[in-house]
Amino acid sequence: ATMPPLLSAIANAGRHGVLIKSAVVMERLGQIDAVALDKTGTLTEGAPRITDIRPLSGAALDADALLALAAAAEHPSEHPLGRAVVAAARERGLQVPGVEDFASTPGLGVTATVGGVKVAVGSPERLLRGLSGQRAADAATAAAGLEGQGRTAVLVTLDGVPAGALGIADRLRPDAAATVASLTALTGAAPVLVTGDNPRSAARLAGEVGIIDVRAGLLPADKVAAVRQMENAGHKVLVVGDGVNDAPALAAAHSGIAMGRAGSDLALETADAVVVRDELAAIPAVVALSRRAKRLVV
């Protein structure tokens, strides 16, 4: 028997390293006419590295102590930023204390109790909200300085008081710009960047890949709202993401694709399709495959 076009398209997608979960998914992928891309772990490799460790003056902590506390709090985290913090502590041979009461808030950061002290590591904007005084001002300056260099800055607070900032850099995937160009050609408009990261580093990266529409500082629900807005404007949206913070948007969109290698379990379960081999360029290829299969059916 000859394989039905949608099934052979699924087999072809598999050859591109993309796992398509059903024939319906394959068919819907051929209908998308707009794309929303996550930044960290999607357009970037998701293997970020700590580049700067900045204890605040007055915090009475050196760089190693700051990093060790941050790594303790991040130890249970599966977020790429959390893994980067833990890896940096390990590289420096630091002893990372055990924690209690770990909690993570997608798009914001983590908290944990270390030896009776509540350590928070996360978005500077969020952690500084409502804080005032010299230490908060110094922390804001340190974070803005790092972000101005295109870094992602995360803040460390101890019992709610800023103790230092970490600078993190992630490489753009080698096929990111080409993928954005292919998706632009397929849909007639450049993809939209939807990221929880800060506007400064988001805008910088967008410029490098040819994205114009940048939505930064988004929480998971804000990503959903961005997708809904595009769909209300009449588009069928493809969301590509990797994180727990992307799962609601992956579910809400017409089609959702997760980056598989470093992607969170929740993103992989929620998405309609998974890029198993780590090539972003497989995504426009699979959309094109789906459109062709559709034409064969009609």
Query: Which residues sit at the interface with Mg ion, rule CB under 5 A?
Result: 38, 40-41, 242-243
State how far the Cα of 73 lies from the Cα of 83, in Å rounded to an integer. Answer: 11
Q: Is 197 in the site for ligand ADP (CB under 6 A)?
A: yes
Tokens 């270390």 -> residue: 114
Contact window for ligand ADP (CB under 6 A) among 12-20, 71-79, 262-270, 283-291? 71-79
The least CB distance from residue 256 to ligand ADP, in Å, is 14
The least CB distance from residue 212 to ligand ADP, in Å, is 17
The least CB distance from residue 34 to Mg ion, in Å, is 19
Q: Is 84 in the site for ligand ADP (CB under 6 A)?
A: no
Contacts of 15 by beta carbon, 8 Å cutoff, 6+ apart: none
State how far the Cα of 237 lies from the Cα of 167, in Å rounded to an integer. Answer: 33
| C-alpha closest to that of 99 among 115, 82, 88 | 115
Residue 121 binds which of Mg ion, ligand ADP, none (CB < 5-8 A, kind-dependent): ligand ADP
Closer to Mg ion by CB, 147 or 242: give it.
242
Q: Is 243 in the site for ligand ADP (CB under 6 A)?
A: yes
| C-alpha closest to that of 263 among 43, 79, 71 | 79
Beta-bridged to residue 274, according to DSSP, are: 19, 258
Residue 289 CA from chain centroid, whole number? 26
**Active-site amino acid positions:** 38
Residues in the site for ligand ADP, rule: CB under 6 A? 38-41, 74, 77, 79, 81-82, 107-110, 121-123, 152, 154, 195-197, 243, 245
